[in-house]
């Protein structure tokens, strides 16, 4: 055996044999803290780490969340797992329900913008719909579906405190022929990635100019204010050649005129005294997002429903790609099951009836 003083040689200058290998932080060099935290957590979601084992799953996830964390999912009717307080409630509710209905759903993030305390992502998931989702059974063929998804995160230090998440349930239903709303006024192109080389997902933080972030946020806040609070309807912050991927039941706009004609004007015609409450606005480089609620009185027809006179809550997650002072591309998901619930309409019940009729 070698003598002890030879077996354990001291590390000399330039000798990195016992030092940990250097590597970039999650999100790359320059990634804001919130982006790094969310990417670390999201890895466990995307690889379905111990997804059905509470003890192992919680051990993987706990380092990324505050003890009083909130996971705020979209409206799911009587299943009531939309807003979870704490990891266990999330695990027993939305997490297990979603993963049983759409097992091994593989998500692709194409936008992830962040600051040190906020983060947002725009994604789509690919999965077979294999078991009932919120009581709605899949077609017998258990088809592949594309799940439009968005998330907003509030981060405290290096842990996530709140995660707002919405999927476009109406669009998923439409893909399999469960048309719970009238035909959309515009054709649907999908939920496509930005037409830009800004990184994947966009933007690459190291390539972001803080001045561009500030300019984008100014445009984005102005657009939100005029489109929703001022009821302007002329979409003046949107490029004439913009593309807007609207929610299920509305479709894809290929001009600011189409966006105004088929989304803004019908919205403002349908709801009186419309107000807006914003939970979060986050921008990084040319990409911005906002999670907000619209509240108003339903006094005109909207998405096939005649006026009810009821006060309605419309939960929205919106994103934008901004260049040259104009919004070039936009993405919007609306929690339509929640909005219709406040109108007194159960979209999940409609979908179940359609599923039974098709079986």
The pLDDT, as a whole number, for residue 11 is: 39
Range in 21-35, 188-202, 205-219, 272-286 the model is least confident about:
21-35
- What pLDDT shows up at residue 48? 81
Helix (H, G, I), strand (E, B) or coil at 114: strand
pLDDT of residue 23: 79
Of 233, 256, 234, 253, which is closest to residue 244 (Cα–Cα)? 253
Instruction: List beta partners, residue 292.
Output: 278, 316
Q: Which residues, in sequence order, are CB contacts of 134 under 8 Å at separation 6+?
A: 76, 77, 79, 97, 169, 348
CA distance 147 to 112: 17
Rounded Cα distance between 221 and 215, Å, is 10
Q: Kindly state the percentage of the chain with pLDDT values over 90.
A: 86
DSSP state of 227: I
**In the structure, what pLDDT confidence band is assigned to residue 299 with cuts at 50, 70 and 90?**
very high
Q: Give the dihedral sign, CA 219/223/226/232.
A: positive
Q: How far apart are the C-alpha atoms of 21 and 102, rounded to whole Å?
A: 38
> Is the model more confident about 232 or about 353?
353
Whether 81 has a pLDDT exceeding 80, the answer reads no
pTM of the complete model beyond 0.85 = yes
What local confidence, expressed as pLDDT, does residue 18 receive? Answer: 65
Which pLDDT does position 43 carry in this prediction? 83
**Cβ contact 318:167 at 8 Å:** no
Q: Which of the four pLDDT bands, split at 50, 70 and 90, describes residue 290?
A: very high
Q: Pairing relation of β-strands 238-245 and 65-72?
A: unpaired
Cα–chain center distance at 4: 58
* Confidence (pLDDT) at 305: 97
Residues 110-130: what's their mean pLDDT? 98
pLDDT attached to residue 79: 78
What Rg value do the Cα atoms of the chain yield, rounded?
A: 23
The answer, yes or no, to whether residue 264 has pLDDT greater than 50, is yes
Q: How confident is the model over 207-220, as a mean pLDDT?
A: 97
Instruction: pLDDT band for 259, please (50, 70, 90 cuts).
Output: very high
User: 315-358 pLDDT, tens per residue?
Assistant: 999 999 999 999 999 999 999 999 999 999 999 999 999 999 99
Which of these ranges, 58-62, 84-88, 157-161, 228-232, has the smallest mean pLDDT?
228-232
Give the CA count within 13 Å in the CB-facing half-sphere of 318.
23
Question: What would the mean pLDDT of 201-227 be, rounded to a whole number?
Answer: 97
Angle at 189 between CA 300 and CA 289, to 5 degrees: 70
pLDDT at 13 over 70: no
Structure tokens at 132: 């009932």
SS3 41: helix
- Answer yes or no: is pLDDT of 313 > 80: yes
Which residue, among 147, 158, 152, 161, has the nearest Cα to 288 in the 3D structure?
Answer: 152
Distance CA 186, CA 250 (A): 6
Helices (H), the chain: 4-7, 33-46, 54-61, 87-90, 96-101, 169-175, 210-224, 256-259, 265-270, 336-343, 347-358
Q: Give me the pLDDT at residue 49, please.
A: 76
pLDDT of 20 higher than 80 = no
Distance CA 224, CA 239 (A): 15
């Amino acid at each position: 055996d070698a003598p002890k003083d030879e077996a354990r040689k001291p590390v000399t200058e330039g000798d990195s044999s016992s030092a940990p290998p250097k590597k970039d932080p999650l999100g790359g060099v320059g990634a804001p803290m919130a982006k790094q935290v969310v990417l670390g957590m999201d890895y466990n979601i995307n690889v379905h780490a111990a997804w059905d084992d509470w003890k192992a799953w919680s051990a993987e996830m706990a380092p990324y969340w505050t003890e009083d964390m909130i996971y705020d999912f979209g409206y799911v009717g009587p299943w009531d797992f939309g807003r979870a307080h704490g990891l266990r409630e999330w695990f027993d509710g939305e997490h297990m329900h979603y993963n049983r209905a759409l097992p091994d759903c593989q998500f692709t993030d194409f936008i992830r913008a962040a600051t040190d305390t906020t983060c947002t992502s725009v994604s789509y998931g690919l999965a077979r719909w294999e078991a009932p989702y919120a009581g709605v059974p899949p077609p017998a063929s258990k088809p592949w579906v594309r799940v439009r998804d968005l998330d907003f995160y509030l981060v405290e230090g290096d842990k996530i405190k709140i995660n707002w998440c919405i999927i476009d349930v109406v669009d998923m239903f439409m893909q399999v022929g469960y048309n719970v709303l009238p035909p959309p006024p515009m054709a649907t192109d999908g939920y496509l990635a930005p037409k830009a080389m800004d990184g994947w997902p966009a933007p690459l933080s190291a390539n972001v100019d803080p001045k561009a972030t500030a300019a984008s946020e100014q445009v984005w806040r102005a657009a939100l204010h005029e489109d929703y609070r001022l009821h302007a309807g002329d979409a003046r912050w949107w490029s004439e050649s913009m593309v807007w991927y609207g929610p299920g039941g509305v479709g894809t706009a290929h001009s600011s005129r189409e966006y105004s004609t088929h989304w803004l004007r019908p919205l403002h015609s349908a709801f009186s005294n419309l107000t807006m409450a914003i939970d979060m606005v986050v921008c990084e480089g040319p990409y911005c997002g906002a999670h907000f609620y619209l509240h108003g009185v339903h006094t005109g027809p909207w998405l096939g429903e005649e006026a009810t006179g009821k006060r309605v809550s419309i939960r929205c997650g919106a994103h934008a790609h901004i260049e040259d002072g104009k919004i070039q591309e936009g993405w919007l998901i609306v929690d339509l099951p929640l909005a219709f619930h406040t109108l007194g309409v159960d979209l999940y019940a409609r979908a179940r009836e359609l599923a039974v009729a098709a079986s």
